[in-house]
Amino acid sequence: MIGVFDSGIGGLTVLKELMRRLPGFRFLYFGDTARTPYGTKSPETIIRYAIEDTEFLLRRGAQVIVVACHSASSVATDTLRDRFREVPIFEVVTPSVEKALALTRRKVIGVIGTRATIESRIYERLFRERDPGVRVYGRACPLLVPLVEEGWLKKPETRMIVKKCLLPLKMRGIDTLVLGCTHYPILKKLIAAKAGRRVKLVDPAEEVAERVQAFVEGKHFSSLAKDGEPLIFVSDLTPAFEEVARLFLGRRVKLLKAEDAPV
């Protein structure tokens, strides 16, 4: 079983892409809605939550872990790999970095994300390790998550805020932009419009799903459970979370309140 976790509902964009590429595989999702969001919190706290989320998925039978949350991917991946050595752990940052390097022509890349993600400077580090000549500009856009969660996808205020968020990156002359938060692909059209035609967007959901697909189809995990609907657990359940889940997954979905969720 492939386990996916996120700070909340946003990671369903990653689950959706995984299900599209790996139909028939069995998925287990955990959204930590009782403690969401992670992106405003400290690395120490995010690492603790990521360990607990991983333990939850493993307890429920996950054999592969996908960290769908960018904030957790940015600050907790090393700790998770160190702590759960036998478990293959995928995260959303590295695949986007490699895709962006493949796309950029002028080697000027922008990254937007939560405060935790941008302040970790993980993208700068990973880009420079692979190509010291690349210029990377990160920008925290904390207001986009609540705007998406309110469903304000086409409101004038959202357009203005996206434009304001991207302006400093445009002025740096980026030609590639990484959408470094699960919520941003929901605003992909608007972000593309405000970034300008020449800027290519990298959607991490697609990139990580491609990696997971290559791995599980590479006979590594022929024993993985097939068939069955995904099990989608959350640590807190409200009508608003169900509404956002529908938005992210593109269809109505049943969220299960996990009584044994980490608290």
| Interface residue list for its own copies (CB under 8 A) | 33-36, 40-42, 44-45, 48, 115, 142-143, 145-147, 149-150, 152, 156-157, 160-161, 164, 235-238, 240, 263
> Shortest gap between Cβ of 101 and its own copies (angstroms)?
30
Name the catalytic one among 18, 47, 50, 69: 69
User: Which amino acid type is present at position 214?
Assistant: A
Is 69 among the residues known to form the active site? yes
225 Cβ contact list (under 8 Å, min separation 6): 1, 25, 26
Nearer to its own copies by C-beta: 13 or 36?
36
Nearer to its own copies by C-beta: 140 or 202?
140
> Shortest gap between Cβ of 157 and its own copies (angstroms)?
5
Name the catalytic one among 97, 148, 169, 181: 181
> Shortest gap between Cβ of 111 and its own copies (angstroms)?
19
Instruction: Show contacts of 44-49: CB within 8 Å, 24+ apart.
Output: 46/71, 46/72, 46/75, 46/76, 46/116, 47/75, 47/76, 47/79, 49/7, 49/262
Is 181 among the residues known to form the active site? yes
Within 13 Å of residue 240, how many CA atoms lie on the same side as its CB? 9
Distance CA 87, CA 81 (A): 8
Nearer to its own copies by C-beta: 60 or 115?
115
Active-site positions? 69, 181
